[in-house]
Structure formats: structure tokens, C-alpha cells
Structure 1
Amino acid sequence: MKIVIINYGAGNIQSIKFAIKRLGYEAILSHDVNEIRNADKVIFPGVGEASSAMKKLRESHLDKLIPTLTQPVLGICLGMQLMCNGSEEGNTKGLGIFDVDVVRFSKKVKVPQIGWNQIAKLKSVLFNDVDEKSHIYLVHSFYAPICKQTIATSSYGVDYSAALMHDNFYGTQFHPEKSSDIGERILVNFLKM
């Protein structure tokens, strides 16, 4: 199985690569259009600020490629947010895969949300053998509101989308690579799709 982690200069790619290796698989880091297109599974990570990350995607023409992929694609954290219509962060236009706009948490809560939180209302094979109220690890100041593509929720001052799905595209606001056994189970479920 060919697993490609998109390397566009805005990701926590090494920790994801190590997590995949712990599961017994090898992943390659690439920004090559053909290599990504020919992968069996694609992981789209992201850490940082939305508008600068989107600029990097446009510069490498990955903004045009990613929405056309037909294999399973997993966006993580900022990767998931960039797959949405847009984000309040830097007034950024997204890839439009998930039909929702990312917004900032209200001033009533401390941002960023850092640490462990629970996921609930789990839908999709991504969460096979994952229990309701399992704990996952998050670091974020912006979130996708609950929408028709929500397949898991979490709560931090407001209920929000912890995971999204549309066709072959999946996104997690949390970091499965940092979410212990639960995160490993979610990664295995994705790799077995």
C-alpha cells in the first residue's frame, strides 16, 4: 500500500510518519502531484495559520489537485479546516470539499484549546471499534460548526465538528497521531478503507 503524506511546508508531518510506522506501514512525504495522485491513501496534515498554509498549497498547485483525488484522503487539524469552504482565520478561501465555514471560538473560552477532550456522536467506519466519549488530543483556536457532514462532535464552550466526511474525504480536528490508542485505532481504520 502506498501512503503519501502531503508535504507542503505546513504540517506536523514527522509525527504522522512515525505514527504510521508504529502501525507497521511506511509512508512517504511528497508534494509531487503524480505521486499524490497515484497513492492508495493520502494524508493531508496541517499546523499553523490558514491563509499562509493555503498560499503554500496554491504555489504548489495542490489546491487544484486535492479536491480531485478519488482515493481515501484524511485531513488532520488545519488540513481538515483547509478542506472546508473557508476560514475566518486570515479570511481564507478553502478547498470547498466540506460545505462549512471555519470560525473562531468565542472570547468566552481560552484559546487555543489545548489538550484532551471527548468525541461523541460517532458515525462512519473511521470510528469502528472507537467508543463514544473516547478522549482525543486537540490544539486549535478555530473550529468547523456542526453540519450535515459532521461524523463526530466535541465540545469547548460550544459543540463543534471533531470530524467531517464527504465521499472519500475525511477530516479530523484532533490529532490522531497524538491521541494514543484511540488515535491509532482511527488511523488503522483509515488505512484499511
Structure 2
Amino acid sequence: MASPTSVPGVRPTVAVLDYGSGNVHSAVRAVERAGATVELTDDADTVLNADGLLVPGVGAFSAVMEALAASGGTRWIGRRVAGGRPVLGICVGHQVLFDEGVEHGVRTEGMGEWPGLVEELQADVLPHMGWNTVRPPEDTVLFRGVEDERFYFVHSYGVLRWQFDQSISAMKPPQVTWAHHGTDFVAAVENGPLSATQFHPEKSGDAGLQLLANWLGSL
């Protein structure tokens, strides 16, 4: 596994946002194994001052957005991104970064960090559950060394169309990783301080740990 920090003996600090989502303890353990000092927290100062913030998410888009807003999480994520402070979203924590989600005909506004719609996958079998390959871009940081590995997915919804208009931004375009289940969907995005994965790196064995170590190395 690659070293997560260039300073010998120094472990980056990561806050795992505690806003009522499930699956947080496996995420905490995985990030610790990848090389960070981790705190599960809903404290604003800790969230804002950690080297990295991890935002987990399971369940419905609308429920996650409601819980994030109620806890102050959406505001803290926005402040970190605006200040160039790294954030990593996982699963529904990835989905809510887009403009909106549609589940069972109900539209819910997302955080709008990236344009796009989270909708039901066009596949014969749902949920998409299990291991799958991904197609990262050549200049990826997150997938360095694990470009050809498989990652663990559990979801029925995703972003099927990438809608980023580079003509309105002078910044480097986001790096988009794709996967396929019935149709192509966005499996991950790397966009400066803001990264996110549709799959669960904390459930993806050695490949997931390497991806988390790569993220820590970017902090």
C-alpha cells in the first residue's frame, strides 16, 4: 500500500461526518487502516479543521439530504470545498453532491456541487450489488495502482449522464470514472478538493484500502 503522507510518522486527520447515516464504523476502521487518525464526529470545529472529511451515506437520497441539512453537514461540506479543504463522499454521500435526485417520482434537491441527476439505473436486476470493474481516466489520483481492480457496489440509483459544461469554468475539468450495470453510470468523480465514489471503498478489500490511501496522500 502506498504511504498516505509524505511526512514520516505523521498521520493525516480525517473527520467522518456523523449525521445519522449507517455504515459509519466500517468507514472509520477502513480509513484508520489506510493510514489516518480518524474521528467520528458531528462537531463543527472538528469537521472544518480536519485534514480530510469523509461523508458516508446509505439509504434514500431524500433522507440523506434531510439529515445532512438538519445536522449542518451541507453547510460544512460547502465551506470546506469553497476553502479548498478535501472532502470524500461515499455512495449516497456521492449522489447528494449532484443537483438533484429522483426516487419513486419524488424529486429532491441535492447540494449542486456538480450538475446532474441521480436516477434509477436502467438494468434488469436491481439493486446493483456486488463487485464490478471501473474505467478511470488516465490522470486519476484516486485509482492510481488499482485501475484494473474491482470495487464493491450496493445501489439502485446513479448518475447516468455527466453534464459538466467546461466552457463555464476556467478550472481543470473534473476527472470522471465510469462503471456499467445495464447502462453506464458515474462510479467516481475527482474535482480538486472534492472527490466521491458510488461504490464502497471500505467494503472493497485491498483495492479499497489503496484508494483510501491515495486520497489520504492527496490531503
Q: Is the 8 A contact 2:36 2:216 kept in 1?
A: no
* Structure 2 counterpart SS, 1:43: strand
Aligned residue pairs, count:
191
Aligned to 1:18: 29
- Counterparts of 1:67 and 1:167, CA distance in 2: 13
Equivalent residue runs for 1:34-113 within 5 Å: 34-69=45-80, 70-89=84-103, 90-106=106-122, 108-113=123-128
Q: Tell me how large the CA RMSD over aligned residues is.
A: 1.5
How far residue 11 of structure 1 moved from its aligned partner, in angstroms, is 3.4
Give every structure 1 segment of 4 or more consecutive aligned residues whose post-TM-superposition deviation is greater than 4 Å.
none
Q: Is the 8 A contact 2:55 2:89 kept in 1?
A: yes
Q: Which has the higher contact order (CA 8 A, sep 6+)?
A: 2
- Counterparts of 1:24 and 1:166, CA distance in 2: 22
How far residue 181 of structure 1 moved from its aligned partner, in angstroms, is 1.2
The equivalent position to 1:173 in structure 2, one of 198, 203, 209, is: 198
Structure number with greater Rg is 2
**Unaligned stretches of 5+ in structure 1?**
none
Q: TM-score, normalised by structure 2?
A: 0.82
Listed one character per residue, the Cα deviations across residues 5-51 of structure 1 (whole Å, up to 9, x for unaligned) are: 01110131100111122234321011122211101011000011111
Listed one character per residue, the Cα deviations across residues 136-178 of structure 1 (whole Å, up to 9, x for unaligned) are: 0000000112424452110001011110122210010000011
How far residue 101 of structure 1 moved from its aligned partner, in angstroms, is 1.3
Equivalent residue runs for 1:108-123 within 5 Å: 108-122=123-137, 123=139
- What letter corresponds to residue 157 of structure 1 in structure 2? G
Relative distance call for 1:165 and 1:23 in structure 2 (3 A) is closer
Listed one character per residue, the Cα deviations across residues 78-133 of structure 1 (whole Å, up to 9, x for unaligned) are: 00001111111242111111221111113x4211110001111334211111233x
